[in-house]
Amino acid sequence: MTTIGVLGGSGAVGRVVVDRLAAWEPGGRLRVGGRDPRRAAAACAQVTGAGAEPVRVDLNDDAELRAFCAGCDVVVNCAGPSYQVLDRVARAALAAGAHYVDAAGDVVAADALCDGHVPGLGDRAALFSAGLMPGLSGLLPRLLAVDGPPPSRLDVYVGGAVAIGPVSAVDALLTRGPRFGTALAAWRHGAVVPNALRPLRSVALPGFRGRVHAWPFLSAEASRLAADLGVDELRNYTVYVTDAIPHALAVAWADEDAPPERHVPAVVAAAEADLAATGPYYTMLFQAVHRAPAPGRARRLVLRTPDSYALSGVVAALAARDVLAGRVPPGVHFAADVLDPRRTLTRLTGDPLVTGVELT
């Protein structure tokens, strides 16, 4: 019998992971972990299908973390903040003989895991960035590069209006520097070109509500995508419905000596202002310029969801299923690099959290 551990299973992302895996793996067992056993029990009580067991676990307690991972076939981590978790849960899962899937994680976490010998990694997979962004943002654009030569140019727009909690706000404030990406940069002819782009203010974009603001940020994921596909140019934008969040982040980053926690309330309030302006929604827009357009070859993909956190949970659950099915090879990987984009989009299209998909 398959046993899947979901750490942080009572949070916004983890609850969805638990719900989907309970429905998809009715013959399996779910171990739902968190620091608050009452919330973990409530998450278990809401699911049907697989048996779900609440377990109290603090990821900072070595003994509790080892006990939680013991006997699991795969451990899905939905706990944060990512900058504190890093590779801690991954190492515990692998040492227990389990695969590992991280709904967040990033280059820093993956690099930490690769630093030195990791028992269990030779025959187990550790999958990072198995969420919406990073994750789907680097996976789905690959559908525009099939059935012919790579596009000459690929544009990525991801964003909308979504609530940001204190933990996510800290992660957002720390997502800067060369290991995460470069603001205002573009990928051109095999290299990162600094200061190549400017923000797009008050523009209309397919799939987004009204006029929005698109801020160029060439993420590490976008650079890997461009290199893998061999495109001449890639432009990656984060989209906001107002200037509130970019302003809050700019103020925080200018205050270099202050701890990020000082600016968390401003980022949370900025997200609330965006929600008040449009209501909750999130859009992923990918557009390709093909060197030799061919009939039937897609040039645009739009995906919409009302809740980016919840959809990240769906992606993490799909990734866990792929890992269990042997579709992910052993070793450390990012979800966008190894998951199958067509299979993933097909499965997402039938999920109630996806309110629209256009591939044209």
pLDDT at 310: 97
In angstroms, rounded to a whole number, what is the distance separating the alpha carbons of residues 44 and 144? Answer: 39
Statement: residue 188 has pLDDT above 80 = yes
End-to-end CA, the chain = 42
Q: What is the predicted pLDDT for the residue at 79?
A: 92
DSSP state of 11: S
Query: Which residues pair with residue 215 across a beta bridge?
Result: 238
Q: What percent of the chain is modeled with pLDDT above 90?
A: 80
Residue 330 Cα distances to 97, 126, 254, angstroms: 12, 7, 41
* Residue 131 β-bridge partners: 135
* pLDDT for residue 50 is more than 70: no
What's phi and psi for 280, nearest 5 deg? Answer: -75, 130
Mean of the pLDDT values across residues 199-223? Answer: 97
> What is the pLDDT at residue 120?
81
What are the structural domains, with CATH classification, of the chain?
3-133+309-359 (3.40.50.720), 149-293 (3.30.360)
Average pLDDT value for residue range 334-349: 97
Residues 111, 198: Cα–Cα separation, whole Å: 31
Q: Which helix (H) or strand (E) holds 295?
A: none
**How high is the pLDDT of residue 13?**
96
Average pLDDT over residues 186-199: 97
Percent of the chain past pLDDT 70, that is, above it, reads 99
121 and 330 in contact (C-beta within 8 Å)?
yes
**For position 115, what pLDDT does the model report?**
79
Tokens of residue 157, six digits: 């727009």
Nearest Cα to Cα of residue 349 among 286, 309, 304: 304
Per-residue pLDDT tens over the stretch 100-145: 999 998 888 999 998 778 888 889 999 999 999 999 999 999 999 9
Question: For the segment 226-251, what is each residue's pLDDT rounded down to a tens digit?
Answer: 999 999 999 999 999 999 999 999 99
Q: Which two tokens stand for residue 270?
A: 């900025």
User: What is the arithmetic mean of pLDDT over 277-300?
Assistant: 92
